[in-house]
Amino acid sequence: MSPHYEFKGLIKGMTYDPLAGAIYFTLSDNEVSKTHEIDEGVYVDVDANKRLVGIELIRRNALIEVRNAFRIIARRFHRPQLVKIPEALKKELAPLCGSVYAAPRAHASV
C-alpha cells in the first residue's frame, strides 16, 4: 500500500511494506543525510541540516505503539504538530497497527 496523504503540509506520503512490517512517513523531499534510531523499531531520517525527512516504524515481536512514537519524535524535534498525525490517519493505520494503536500505554519521557 502506498497511498499519498497531505496532512496540513506535514506528510507528503505514507508507504507500508508488509514483508518488513514497516510504515514509512515521508515528510520532506530533501535528501536523507543520516538515520537515527529514536526507540526500538522507530527511526527518523534527517537531512544535512538535521531537519526531519521521514519517519519509519518497524514492527518486531510486538506491534509499534504509533501514538507514542510520534510523541517522542515531536518532542525531540520540537514539532508538536506531529502528534496529530496518528489520529488524523487512524482509519489507514488501524489495519496496520492492530489493537495496540487503539489502546496506547504510558511511555517513559525522552
Question: Residue 42 above 80 pLDDT?
Answer: yes
State the virtual CA torsion across 20, 25, 31, 36 in degrees, nearest 10: -70
DSSP string, 10-44: S-SEEEEETTTTEEEEE---SPP-EEEEEETTEEE
Q: What is the pLDDT of residues 55-78, one digit of tens each?
A: 998 875 434 578 888 888 999 999
Please name the residue that has the C-alpha cell 508507504: 15
**pTM score, two decimals?**
0.73
Return the number of other C-beta atoms located less than 10 Å from residue 23's C-beta. Answer: 23
DSSP labels for 73-91? HHHHTT-GGGGGHHHHTHH
